[in-house]
Structure 1
Amino acid sequence: MTAATTFRIGGDLEVRRLGFGAMHLRPGSAEERAACVAVARRAVELGVTLVDTAHLYGWGANEDLLAEALHPYPEGLVIATKVGIRHTTSGEGWRHAGAPDDLRGQVDEALRRLRLDRIELLQLHRLDPDVPLPDQLGALRDLRDEGKIGRIGLSEVTADELAEARAVVEIASVQNRYNLLDREHEPVLKACEAAGIAFLPWRPAAAGASGGRSAEITAVAAELGATPTQVALAWLLAHSPVILPIPGTSSVAHLEENLGADAVRLGREQYERLSRAATETP
Structure 2
Amino acid sequence: MTSSTFRIGDEIGVRRLGFGAMRLSTGPESARRASVAVARRAVELGVTLIDTAHLYGWGANEELLAEALYPYPDGLLIATKVGVAPPDPPHDAAICGRPDFLRDQVEQGLRRLRVERLELLQLHRVDPAVPLADQLGALRELQVEGKIGHIGLSEVTAAELEEARQIIDVASVQNRYSLLDREHEAVLDACAAAGIAFLPWRPVYPAVSEATAEIAAVAAELGATAAQVSLAWLLDRSPVVLPIPGTGSIGHLEENVAAASLRLSDDQWRRLDRIQPTQRGGAGQDGGDARHMESA
Alignment partner of 2:151: what SS? strand
1:182 and 2:167 matched: no
Aligned equivalent of 2:108: 109
Judge conservation of contact 1:126–1:155 (CA < 8 Å) in 2. Answer: yes
Other structure's SS at 2:135 match: helix
Deviations 1:37-74 (A, max 9, x none): 00000000000000000000000000000000000000
Residue 232 of structure 1, aligned match among 230, 233, 238: 230
Gaps of 5+ in 2: 280-296
Whether contact under 8 Å (2:181, 2:277) holds in the other structure is: no
Query: SS at 2:170's partner residue?
Result: coil
Distance between the aligned counterparts of 2:31 and 2:278, measured in 1? 39
Q: Residues 207 and 232 of structure 1 are in contact (CA less than 8 Å); yes or no, is this contact kept in structure 2?
A: no
Q: Structure 1: which 5+ residue stretches go unaligned?
A: none
1:17 — aligned with what?
16
> In the alignment, which residue of structure 2 is the partner of 1:71?
70
Q: Name the % identity.
A: 66
Q: Offset of 1:93 from its aligned partner? A: 3.1
In structure 2, what residue type is equivalent to 1:70?
L
Residue from 240, 243, 252 that aligns with 1:242: 240
Q: Is the 8 A contact 1:50 1:79 kept in 2?
A: yes
Within 2, Cα distance between the matches of 1:145 and 1:64? Answer: 25
In the aligned structure 2, how far is the partner of 1:65 from the partner of 1:93?
24
Partners of 1:26 and 1:61 within 8 A in 2: no
Match of 1:252 in 2: 250
**Residue 200 of structure 1, CA deviation:** 0.2
Please state if 1:40 is matched with 2:39: yes
8 Å CA contact retained: 2:110, 2:116: yes
- SS in structure 2 of the partner of residue 120 of structure 1: strand
Mapping of 1:63-142 within 5 angstroms?
63-90=62-89, 93-142=92-141
DSSP-derived class of the 1:209 partner: coil
Give me the CA root mean square deviation.
1.5
The 3-state SS of whatever aligns with 2:208 is: helix
Aligned residue type for 1:85: V
Seen in structure 2, the aligned counterparts of structure 1 residues 100 and 279 have a Cα distance that, compared at 3 Å, is: closer
User: Normalization by structure 2: what TM-score?
Assistant: 0.92
Distance 1:272 1:90 in 2: 50
Taking a change above 3 Å as real, the CA distance of residues 230 and 128 of structure 1, as seen in their structure-2 partners, is same
- Residue 279 of structure 1 deviates from its aligned partner by 4.4
Q: Deviations over 1:157-203 (max 9, x none)?
A: 00000000000111000000000000000000000011100000000
1:208 touches 1:230 (CA, 8 Å); kept in 2?
Answer: no
Correspondence for 1:220: 218
Question: Number of paired residues?
Answer: 280
Per the alignment, residue 209 of structure 1 pairs with 208
Runs of 4+ that moved beyond 4 A: none
